[in-house]
A and B are shown apart, each in its own frame.
Chain A
């Protein structure tokens, strides 16, 4: 069964450093998303991406965040200057044109900012 993959599974970084989280969505999917989940809290939407551009973003997704689809398979989330409060699990998700609301999630990257 096709699945979303994410790397790395765990990233530890120092405050102020840049991090790039990587995702490979399901191959025939056209819609891509990033969500995050702070420990003990609910899953929160960050950004959606379609047709090589951001289609929607939340207020969490400020200027420190950016997304990119550098090639036909990868989808990345960059945090330019990490803060302690960026520590969370970051999930990538994807969906297809037929059922864009049925999103399939990757296993997540646990980001720890020290």
Chain B
């Protein structure tokens, strides 16, 4: 089983749609969870950290279910500028800040 697994993409949605990304991780000892965004041939950019209580930042909502080892990201009211690859990222080793990345899910928002 891969350490961090994401929905295969791409997701094609119209502007204004709501889209959800899912991610599972294999190491139950994982401590910290993130969503990063990566534009084509650019660096990953931190979108948001994910907390057990769930957290929201504007149109973006992230959820963590430790029991199921599952992370989600919901984007409401999609914009053209949301088109990117969304990376699920996990810190899998206690005491170390190494990040393990999923392969990413590409989102294409069309007019």
A joins B in a complex: yes
Q: In chain A between 77 and 99, which residues have their CB closer than 8 angstroms to a CB of chain B?
A: 89, 91, 95
Q: Is there contact, CB below 8 Å, between B101 and A102? A: no
Q: Is there contact, CB below 8 Å, between A48 and B97? A: yes
User: How many of chain A's residues touch chain B, expressed as a range?
Assistant: 20 to 34
Q: Return chain B residues, CB-CB under 8 Å to A42.
A: 87, 101-104
A100 at the interface (CB under 8 A from B): yes
* Closest-CB distance, B70 to chain A (whole angstroms): 19
- Interface of A (DSSP majority class): strand
A33 to B46, CA, bound (A): 15
Q: Return chain A residues, CB-CB under 8 Å to B45.
A: 105
Q: Which 10 A-B pairs have the closest CB atoms?
A: A105-B43, A43-B101, A101-B32, A100-B97, A42-B103, A101-B91, A42-B101, A45-B98, A56-B96, A105-B44
